[in-house]
Amino acid sequence: MKRTLILNVNGQEHEVEAESNRLLLQVLRDNLGLTGTKEGCGIGVCGACSVIVDGRLVSSCLTLAAGCQGKKIETIEGLAKDGKLHPLQQAFIEFGGFQCGACTPGQIMAAKALLDETPQPTEEEVKEWMAGNLCRCTGYYKILESVMAVVNNKIDPGFAFRKREQSAKIQSLDVYKAVAKTH
Amino acid sequence: MAKAEKFSVVGKRVQRFEGFDKVTGTSQFVADIQLPGELIGKVLRSPYPHARIRNIDTSRAEKLRGVRAVVTAEDTIKRPWGAFFADQYILSVGKARFVGEEVAAVAAIDPDIAEEAIDLIDIDWEPLPAVFDAEEAMKEGAPLVHDDKPNNITMTMDIERGNIAQAFAESDIVVEDTFTSMPQWHCSIETIGSVAEYAPGGKYTIYMNTQTLFNARYRIAAALGVPETDVRIIQSAVGGGFGGKSCDDNNALVAAVLAKKAGKPVKLINSREEEFLAGCRPRVFMKINVRLGFKKDGRIRAKHIKVIADNGAYSAKAPAITGVAAMRHDTCYKYTDVKTQAFLVYTNKIPTGAFRGFGNPSAEWAVEQAIDLGAHALGIDPIEIARINAAEAGYVSPHGNRVTSCELKQCLDMTEKMIDWKAKRANKAPNTGLGLACTVHVSGKRHFGDYDGSSATIKLNEDGKALILSGEGECGQGVHTAMCQIAAEELGVPVEDVEISRADTDLTTFCLGAFASRLTYVSGNAVKNAAANVKQQLHQQAAEMLEANAEDLASRDGRIFVKGAEGKAVTVADVARARLFRHNGAPIVGSGSFDADSVLPDSTRFGNESGAYNYGVQAAQVQVDPETGQVRILQFVIASDCGTVIYPLGAEGQVEGGLAQGIGFALTEGLQFDEGRPVNPNFSDYRIPSMRDMPLLQHAFADSYEPTGPFGAKGLGELNMDPTAAVISNAIFDAVGVRIKTLPITPEKILRGLREKKPS
């Protein structure tokens, strides 16, 4: 049976009609058109559907929408404010923290949940926390580098998105070539 | 030989073209597309590995409220289709041959109704004897998967180059062993999906996440029995490809059949379980016997390889993959006498197919361990064996592969230095060992007709910015960014002034798509040629404006100037407008194409299969816990020869991501079957590596230049998936003396090996 739910998503109240058994993932995508949250496995293992509810990271594919009434839901769509990217979003572009991008909204939300609570995690803490967000493209090195760039305040203050050559170079090709040429 | 060139855009750390969309969640993947009136499709799949369909009754499903179409094979033309051999149907005709095969499908107004309707389809099944193992399937009297394929043999190969008997007779030592690989699933985070529409005039439009649009169009048109022009494929954002989204499965076809019958758009997205059962075609399972003959000084004198490959129920790309497994490695070292025998065999399991590496990971798992066996038998350092035999530019393999650039030796030097090979070997800690393997891959492969080309069009807008129209298709790897860089470099404009279109078979020209590590090389050359054509038109117009000869002009940073008098200049935007807004005006549009200088292999598979060959070396130091059998990778190093690096962030990503899939292939990934039924088709039981599983990594690109590549570039994508499992296994052997011959390498197998070594 359908019921009316009031959901606060990214600071906005939405009234939606949904069956009681609808998952938060389905309501976000199908009722609210917030398709940035992805379904990867449907069983809460891969983290692609990660969103933040009242400050806690949850798998929206295992969360009933009805249980989220009266709570603050944050999704990837709420991160950029006034045309300015969230530092994590910027870092993922600067440091190549994605390839296909299907897991990326979940990766960024997971990292945000961590940094909101622990702004200065160690690399090991990040690895432990982010182990619940699978990625099949990157091998995770650049995801880790992106998150650590925010932790260590290494992101470019003069950043403008898209195709601009970056000044920040941690793992630059030049470094590799230097290694290569010292033999 | 390596050649340093100064580039202004190529090789720079530019941002990913689609970066903003990817990090804000606005990138539109196929499941994110919603068309007005769209219905949801669901598939009824065979619960049996092999069963005859006596009857299908869809009447109860059709009567369910909200159901708009129910389809079976009767709604199709029942024409078999497939990449190399036409052997599969859109929906089962007569019988089903694996668990998960598409038998019927439903389109309804919501997913719950579609699911309910599936349960209301009544099928009268007659289960048949089934066969699950390739060697069993080849035996006399085994159940036949396809009635017209005796002994279930899909294809055989038996090729000898040189004189193998004499070569083994002249060898000082001979090593031989058998290695088996597991099937591996692509596990792209986005599953395969389609949204199909049918216009009553006769045209299908399919939005899909394929990595090979025009091949998809060709196969879909053939299976639907319509001309290619009546099928339009529009690519959504693709959430990972790795070969799995190269249209060897039925998803788009089922969606198209449903859309036609329902008269409405139909969305059909695989669940994760469906993806494991019958979505992307997993890596071909292989059992490989290798016999190598060496001279005392370490030279490989003879190689004999026997491959038994499990095709699954339908062939997809397995015939080509088996050929790669049997022959590709012969381009890595300087082989002279080789013999290769292969059987590709049908079984009642999921059809296997293309996955990053295309047969090469299974082959290198076997051959690079056999090389290691040889090194130990000879008492020569494995890195020296590799050095002694390494291919070089100018090498022609026994199968006719012509190597135009090769920095394998440089990669060995770099690897040796990065991991500190000599010192670590000299000071070996207990239960700690070093392993190494070399790898080769192609930059494109000539096997779809006598063509391994690409084409592109570049149109110049009146603001001077360029748009590349390309049908090759980005699948997440970042190739669109590399294309923009190549065009910008050739045009002499900033990379910000170049954009690239979505791939669309109606709007872009013919392209084969993303496979065989071909895009940077093949499509890069086509884009470069298109840009050269645009530049020529620009210079012609600019010459008029500058009162100079076109030959005396050059372009840089969006300005066209007279060489030697750089102040005498016009902007690209000025020229584009001047060419358009005048009598007999016209927009500037340039086209380019490229077809690699390769040869379609003949009936004995002789012929230079690719325009360029990429090389690499991987090495690892591992530590084995003798109590638990656990393997810890202490350090991993990789050196890659991909020619000029065009897009560094992307190239590094290919190396790192390839390694992750290689580690998964080596240590954790393997779908278990019970009577043909996958028992772990989900992410909790089929374990792909997580961030915690990745080792310390150092990697480097060789100083390299491919003379036939765009600005010296060649392929990279598959190279670093290929050797990883062998590297880890060789390192485990060095650590504890246990040789693992079946994938995945589990603690149980290591413990068993340790026990067998020391009987107590």
pLDDT of amino acid A174: 31
Tell which A residues from 80 to 109 touch B, by Cβ distance under 8 Å: 80, 85, 89-90, 92-96, 98-105, 108
The percent of residues in chain A predicted with pLDDT above 90, rounded, is 81
pLDDT of residue A162: 61
Note whether B660 and B721 are same-domain residues. yes
Q: Average pLDDT, stretch B238-262?
A: 97
Query: How near does any CA of chain A get to the CA of B651, in Å?
Result: 10
The pLDDT value given to residue A132 = 97
| CA atoms of B408 and B393, how far apart (whole Å) | 9
Q: Is the peptide bond before B744 cis (omega within 30 degrees of 0)?
A: yes
Mean pLDDT to the nearest integer, A156-163: 74
Does the distance separating the beta carbons of B697 and A48 come in below 8 Å? Answer: no
Residues of B in contact with A181 (CB under 8 A): 703
A31 at interface of B, judged by CB pairs closer than 8 A: no
Q: Do B653 and A139 touch (CB under 8 A)?
A: yes
Residues 6 or more apart from B755 whose CB is under 8 A from it?
none
Residue B248 Cα to chain centre, angstroms: 13
Q: Which pLDDT band holds residue B449 (cuts at 50, 70, 90)?
A: confident
* SS3 annotation, B137-189: HHCCCCCCCCCCCHHHEEEEEEEEECCHHHHHHCCCEEEEEEEECCCCCCCCC
Residue B185 CA to residue B686 CA, distance in Å, equals: 9
User: What is the spatial distance between Cα B175 and Cα B303, in angstroms, rounded to a whole number?
Assistant: 10
**Minimal Cα distance from B241: which residue of A?**
A100
Confidence of residue B5 (pLDDT cuts 50, 70, 90): low
Judge whether B8 lies within some domain: no
Contacts of B253 (CB under 8 A, 6+ apart): B90, B220, B223, B224
Q: What is residue B723's three-state secondary structure? A: coil
Using the predicted structure, report yes or no on whether residue A165 has a pLDDT greater than 50. Answer: no
Please check the confidence at residue A182 and state whether its pLDDT lies above 60: no
CATH 3.10.20.30 residue ranges of chain A are 2-78
Q: Are residues B220 and B87 in the same domain?
A: yes
In this predicted structure, what is the pLDDT of residue B760? 53
**Residues of chain A neighbouring B241 (CB-CB closer than 8 A):** 100
Domain's final residue, options B595, B630, B663: B595
Q: What is the 3-state secondary structure (H, E, C) of A3-67?
A: EEEEEEECCEEEEEEEECCCEHHHHHHHHCCCCCCCCCCCCCCCCCCEEEECCEEEECCCCEHHH
The answer to whether A171 faces chain B, any CB pair under 8 Å, is yes
How would DSSP label each residue in B499-510?
Answer: EEPPPBTTTS--
> How is residue B65 annotated by DSSP?
T
> How are strands ordered across the β-sheet holding B559-562?
B553-556, B559-562, B565-571
> Among B613, B629, B708, B698, which residue's Cα sits nearest to residue B659?
B698
| Residues 6 or more apart whose Cβ sits within 8 Å of residue A123 | A144, A148
Same domain, B498 and B459: yes
Residue B105, helix vs strand vs coil? strand
Angle at B13 between CA B438 and CA B496, to 5 degrees: 135
Q: Are B162 and B338 in contact, with CB atoms under 8 Å apart?
A: yes
Separation in Å, CA B178 to CA B175, B362, B512: 11, 12, 36
Structure tokens, B736: 């504890």
Q: Does the predicted interface ipTM exceed a cut of 0.95?
A: yes
The answer to the question of residue B7 being in a domain is: no
Contact yes or no for B316/B353 (Cβ under 8 A) = yes
Do the chains contact at A169 and B24, CB–CB below 8 Å?
no
Q: How many CB atoms lie within 10 A of CB B571?
A: 15
Last residue of some domain: B575, B595, B615? B595
Same domain? For B120 and B228 the reply is yes
Structure tokens at B8: 């202004």
Which residues have C-beta within 8 Å of that of residue B500, sequence separation ≥ 6? B17, B467, B468, B470, B480, B483, B484
Tell me the C-alpha distance between B391 and B389, whole Å: 6
Which one, of B645, B642, B637, lies nearest residue B618 by Cα? B637
Does some domain include residue B260?
yes
Q: What would the two tokens of residue B499 be? A: 């954009």
Q: Give the mean model confidence (pLDDT) for residues A84-108.
A: 97
Q: In b/e form, how buried is each residue of B375-393, taking b as 16+ CB within 10 angstroms?
A: bbebebbbbebbbbbbbeb
The CA-based angle B482-B488-B492, given to 5 degrees, is 150
Tell me, yes or no, whether B614 and B673 share the same domain: yes
Q: Which helix (H) or strand (E) holds B616?
A: strand B613-624
Average confidence (pLDDT) over A80-86: 89
User: CATH says A87-172 is which class?
Assistant: mainly alpha
**Roughly what angle, to the nearest 10 degrees, separates helices A141-151 and B648-667?**
120
DSSP B120: T
Q: Is B148 exposed, middle or buried (CB count within 10 Å of its CB: 0-12, 13-18, 19+)? A: exposed
* B220, B340: one domain: no
Q: What is the pLDDT of residue B448?
A: 82
Tally of CB atoms within 10 A around B580: 15
> Averaged over B54-67, what is the pLDDT?
98
Same domain, B324 and B357: yes
Q: What average pLDDT does the segment A83-94 reach?
A: 94
Beta-carbon pairs below 8 A across chains A and B: 232
Would the CB atoms of B271 and A42 count as touching at under 8 Å?
yes
Crossing angle (nearest 10°) for helices A123-130 and A104-117: 130
Interface of B with A in 513-542 (CB under 8 A): none
At A83 the pLDDT is 78
- Same structural domain for residues B667 and B627? yes
- pLDDT band at residue A177 using 50, 70 and 90 as cut-offs: very low
pLDDT of residue B142: 98
Amino acid, res. B690 = S
Chain B, residues 231-270, CB within 8 A of chain A, namely 237-242
Same domain flag for B640 and B690: yes
Which domain-ending residue is among B595, B610, B643? Answer: B595
CA distances from residue B201 to B218, B221, B231, B457 in whole angstroms, order as listed: 20, 16, 12, 29
Q: Which two tokens stand for residue B627?
A: 């109590």
Residue B134 near residue B285, CB atoms below 8 Å: yes
Q: Is the pLDDT of residue A181 over 50?
A: no
Q: Hunting for tokens 């990867």 — which residue is that?
A: A40
Whether the predicted pLDDT of B6 surpasses 90: no
Q: B207: domain range?
A: 33-128+196-240+246-271
Q: What is the pTM of this model?
A: 0.95
Strand runs (DSSP E) across B284-348, as ranges?
285-294, 300-312, 337-346
Within-domain flag for B161: no
The single-letter code of the amino acid at B672 is Q
- What is the model's pLDDT at position A175? 30
Beta bridge partners of B737: none
User: Which contiguous run of DSSP H or E holds residue B459?
Assistant: strand B453-460
- Position A88 pLDDT exceeds 70: yes
Minimal C-alpha gap between A69 and chain B (Å): 23
In sign, the C-alpha dihedral spanning B679, B695, B725, B617 is positive
| The predicted structure's pLDDT at residue A159 | 84
Q: CATH number for the domain including B501?
A: 3.30.365.10
Interface residue A65 vs chain B (CB under 8 A):
no
A141 CB within 8 Å of a chain B CB? yes
pLDDT tens figures, B251-267: 999 999 999 999 999 99
B100 burial level (CB within 10 Å; 0-12, 13-18, 19+): buried
Picking from A95, A100, A180, the nearest residue to B190 by CB comes out as A100
B616 and B565 part of one domain:
no
Confidence label for A160 from pLDDT (cuts 50, 70 and 90): confident
- The chain A residue lying nearest B717, using CA atoms, is A137
Query: Is the pLDDT confidence value at A168 over 50?
Result: no
Residue type, B416: E
**What is the pLDDT, as a whole number, of residue B670?**
86
Render pLDDT for B577-601 as a digit per residue (tens, 0 to 9): 999 999 999 999 999 999 999 999 9
- Best residue in A137, A170, A181 to probe B by mutation, most B CBs within 10 Å? A137
Instruction: Using a CB–CB cutoff of 8 Å, tell me whether A166 touches chain B.
Output: yes
Residue B542, helix vs strand vs coil: helix
* Joined tokens for residue B176: 């031989």
Q: Is residue B561 part of a domain?
A: yes
DSSP type of residue A89: H
Residues of chain B with pLDDT > 70: what percent? 99
Residue B476 contacts residue A99 (beta carbons within 8 Å):
yes
B15 touches chain A (CB under 8 A): yes
Mean pLDDT for A158-183 is 40
Query: Is residue B521 assigned to a domain?
Result: yes
Tell me which CATH homologous superfamily contains domain A2-78.
Beta-grasp domain (3.10.20.30)
Per-residue pLDDT of B341-355, as tens digits, reads: 999 999 999 999 999
Residue B600: exposure state from Cβ atoms within 10 A (0-12, 13-18, ≥19): middle
**Total count of domains within chain B:** 3
Same domain, B528 and B400: no
C-alpha B62/C-alpha B57 separation (Å) is 10
Contact assessment for residue B594 and residue B532, using Cβ atoms and an 8 Å cutoff:
no
Interchain contact, A166 vs B16, CB within 8 Å: no
Give yes or no for residue B738 having a pLDDT over 80.
Answer: yes
In this prediction, residue B109 has a pLDDT band, given cuts at 50, 70 and 90, of: very high
Burial of residue B418 (CB within 10 Å: 0-12, 13-18, 19+) is buried
Rounded to an integer, what distance in angstroms lies between the CA atom of residue A131 and that of residue A110?
10
Q: Does residue B108 lie in a domain region?
A: yes
Residues A61/A102, Cβ–Cβ less than 8 Å: no
Instruction: State how far the Cα of B748 lies from the Cα of B755, in Å rounded to an integer.
Output: 11
Q: Is B110 on the interface with A (CB under 8 A)?
A: no
Give dist(CA B760, CA B293) in Å, integer. Answer: 35
Burial B107-116 (b: 16+ CB within 10 A, else e): bbbeeebbeb
The verdict on residue B142 lying in a domain is no
Q: Which of A77, A102, A139 sits opposite B659 (nearest CB)?
A: A139
At A161, is the pLDDT very low, low, confident or very high (cuts 50, 70, 90)? low
Task: Quickly state the pLDDT bin for B758 (edges 50, 70, 90).
Answer: confident
**Own/partner pairs for A149-152, CB < 8 Å, 24+ apart?**
A149/A91, A149/A94, A149/A95, A150/A87, A150/A88, A150/A91, A150/A111, A150/A115, A151/A115, A151/A119, A151/A120, A151/A121, A151/A126
Binary contact (A142, B656; C-beta < 8 A): yes
Query: B279 CB near a chain A CB, below 8 Å?
Result: no
| Number of other CB atoms surrounding residue B752 within 10 Å | 14
CB A129 within 8 A of CB A117: no
Chain B residue with the nearest C-alpha to that of A100: B476
Q: Which residues of A touch B652 (CB under 8 A)?
A: 96, 142, 171, 173
Distance from A70 to chain B by nearest Cα, in Å?
A: 25
Q: Where are the alpha helices (DSSP H) in A32-172?
A: 87-94, 104-117, 123-130, 141-151
**Closest Cα in chain B, distance from residue A6 (Å):** 23
B629-639 mean pLDDT: 97
Same domain, B635 and B736: yes
Mean pLDDT of B311-318: 95
Please report residues of B whose CB lies closer than 8 A to that of A104: 22-23, 25
